[in-house]
Amino acid sequence: MYDPATSDDPGSSAGGEWRALSDEVQPEVAPCLGDEDDSLLIRELAAGLDDGACLLHRCRAPNTRGDIDHVIVASSGVWIVDAKSYWGVVERRDVGNWRTVDHRLYVNGRDQTELVENLTWQTAAVRAALDPMGLGDVPIHPVLLFIGSSGRWFSKPIEIDGVRAMWTKKLIEFAREPGPLDEVACRAVAARLATALSPKG
């Protein structure tokens, strides 16, 4: 596992746990997130993403009480992943009237738009961590990931207020798209986020 605390990489620094997928990682040292679904998700992401991508898990932003489940740093940008183990049809509904548009997220027939709103502070925390490094223009992609659902529950990924809802295979597909970050930049961004968004003991 790549350890920013001991690496000679000048872009690294001690902080939250992260690793580059190009580094060899034995399954027994994969971070334990206390949830079998999360552990499976980590393995799926590690297997599907490019070697130059980096992963962070259970990050905590300063002055907040919540965790950021997972962060992917890839050529395509920074993917903030809020993973939910929900079952049922995931859909976007317009509940506005003929004069207004009000898109809401429904899961299994229930309004779950608060899940979209919860990614607002997570996105702001990541942006705040990157701005001081002059990385404010790095693309940030907030994602609701439904690991209990699959593509058959979606006609296509759903977007509401800049947040996309999708399933794991589609996330990997999007994250693997080419973008502005090379491998060195991915490591620098991941090291910065690992320091700024350190897990709390």
Contact 143, 70 (CB under 8 A): no
Question: What DSSP line would sit under 29-46, residue for residue?
Answer: GSPP-S-HHHHHHHHHHH
Q: What pLDDT is attached to residue 27?
A: 27
Residue 200 CB-density burial (10 A; 0-12 exposed, 13-18 middle, 19+ buried)? exposed
3-state secondary structure of 2: coil
Rounded to the nearest integer, the mean pLDDT of the chain is 79
The answer, yes or no, to whether residue 24 has pLDDT greater than 70, is no
Q: What pLDDT is attached to residue 152?
A: 53
How many Å apart are CA 54 and CA 73, to the nearest integer? 5
Q: Among residues of the chain, what percentage have pLDDT more than 90?
A: 47
Backbone angles phi, psi at 68, to 5 degrees: -95, 115
Of 59-63, 109-113, 153-157, the range with the lowest mean pLDDT is 153-157
Q: What share of the chain is helix, strand, coil (3-state, %, to 5)?
A: 30, 25, 45
How many Å apart are CA 153 and CA 173, to the nearest integer? 17
Dihedral sign from CA coordinates of 33, 154, 90, 166: positive
Using the 8-state DSSP alphabet, how is residue 1 labeled? -
Question: What DSSP line would sit under 80-123, residue for residue?
Answer: EEEEE---S-EEEEE---SS---EEEEETTEE-HHHHHHHHHHH
Q: What is the mean pLDDT of residues 109-130?
A: 92
Residue type, position 77, single letter: G
Helices 183-196, 113-130: inter-axial angle, 10-degree rounding:
100
The answer, yes or no, to whether residue 56 has pLDDT greater than 70, is yes
pLDDT in tens, 38-54: 788 889 999 999 888 99
Our CA angle for 185, 141, 54, nearest 5°, is: 40
Contact 54, 77 (CB under 8 A): no
pLDDT in tens, 156-167: 899 999 999 999
Q: What pLDDT is attached to residue 64?
A: 75
On whether the pTM is more than 0.75, the answer is yes
Q: How confident is the model at residue 20 (pLDDT cuts 50, 70, 90)?
A: low
Q: What pLDDT is attached to residue 4?
A: 34
Q: What pLDDT is attached to residue 8?
A: 43
In the chain, where are the structural domains located?
A: 18-196
Q: What pLDDT is attached to residue 58?
A: 87
- Report the residue count for the chain: 201
Determine the CATH number of domain 18-196.
3.40.1350
How many Å apart are CA 152 and CA 88, to the nearest integer? 10
pLDDT in tens, 168-183: 999 999 999 999 999 9
